[in-house]
Structure 1
Amino acid sequence: MNKNSKKICLISSSGGHLEQIKQLSEVINSYECFYVVTRTKATEAMKEKRYIVNDLIRTNKFVLFMRMLKMMIEQLGIFLKERPDVIITTGAGVAIPMCIIGKFFRKKVIYIESFARINTPNKTGLLIYKFADLFIIQWEELEKYYPKAIYGGGIY
């Protein structure tokens, strides 16, 4: 299949967030995509084009700020190298810098709230909701937290 000219950055933490983003097969098969993921045995074994980045560690506010700054610099380098048109994420905290960078460069940001979030939002979602171009929830119960979100149902 011919890939469309748009380039997509798929960024997530490992585990369930990554498994959810991999469910976007129509996007993955239609566009040039690359992954930005945190280091695990599974992500090191990925065959797809990917960048392994540091994860967010939340110990105290100072350490959190310093880690976020380091992540921002690391992900800015990836962004400038790849020049994605769209950033799609399922979270978690690792996605915050790339989404901010994307908005700064006027790229589209799409956030898909985790399937595991049925009744309560997560902190990453609450932050990115404020500036995402498209915000998708997988459970109708979350509409009270994200009134402008699109209910897309489960991606599994």
Structure 2
Amino acid sequence: MKKVMFISSTGGHLSELLQLQPIFDEYDYHIVTEKTKSNIKLMDRFPNRISFVKYGTKHNLFTYFFIFPFNCILCLILYIRLKPDVVVSTGAHTGIPMLYIAHFFKKKVVFIETFANIRTKSLSGKLAYKIADTFIVQWESMLELYPDAIYAGWIF
């Protein structure tokens, strides 16, 4: 059974990622997201299958300057501990370091561009497109911006 890590930032990115729950049990899966008051309840929903990194937002650049590198180190530790065959992310800043780590170790990288973008690239999408083995868009119009992507429709 393939080991698959599902990773995203909190909020809408996590909501999109959790739409993939029907396929979780097809894999030896693990979820990684930011630790917040609302996300801590996911430990009950996914016992022994969820890990957290520190919550950080680029809107507070001073603290983000410290949190982002710390989370990159946490991602490397989680990657080494979990040894996934595939890493799937819906973004944003929490998922990108893990995608690059997986790419470095020559594992499969899957990125799903956010539903929120219909005509513009997200920063995460720009960074992930360069390394993703599979890049999925949820709007057909996004194929103009990401010509090698797969249009899969909405995950909601």
State the alpha-carbon separation in 2 of the partners of residues 25 and 130 from structure 1.
26
DSSP-derived class of the 1:9 partner: strand
> Counterpart in 1 of 2:28?
32
Q: Is the 8 A contact 2:34 2:54 kept in 1?
A: yes
Q: Is the 8 A contact 2:56 2:63 kept in 1?
A: no
Whether 1:9 and 2:9 are equivalent positions in the alignment is no
Q: Is the 8 A contact 2:31 2:51 kept in 1?
A: yes
> Counterpart in 1 of 2:70?
70
> Counterpart in 1 of 2:94?
94
One-letter amino acid of the counterpart of residue 34, structure 2: T
> Counterpart in 2 of 1:119?
119
RMSD of aligned alpha carbons: 1.7
Structure 1: any 5+ residue segments left out of the alignment? none
State the alpha-carbon separation in 1 of the partners of residues 106 and 38 from structure 2.
32
Instruction: Using structure 2 for the length normalisation, give the TM-score.
Output: 0.89
> Counterpart in 2 of 1:135?
135
DSSP-derived class of the 2:102 partner: helix
Structure 2: any 5+ residue segments left out of the alignment? none
> Counterpart in 2 of 1:151?
151
One-letter amino acid of the counterpart of residue 90, structure 2: T
Instruction: Using structure 1 for the length normalisation, give the TM-score.
Output: 0.89
Q: How many corresponding residue pairs?
A: 151
Q: Which moved more, 1:106-115 or 1:139-148?
A: 139-148
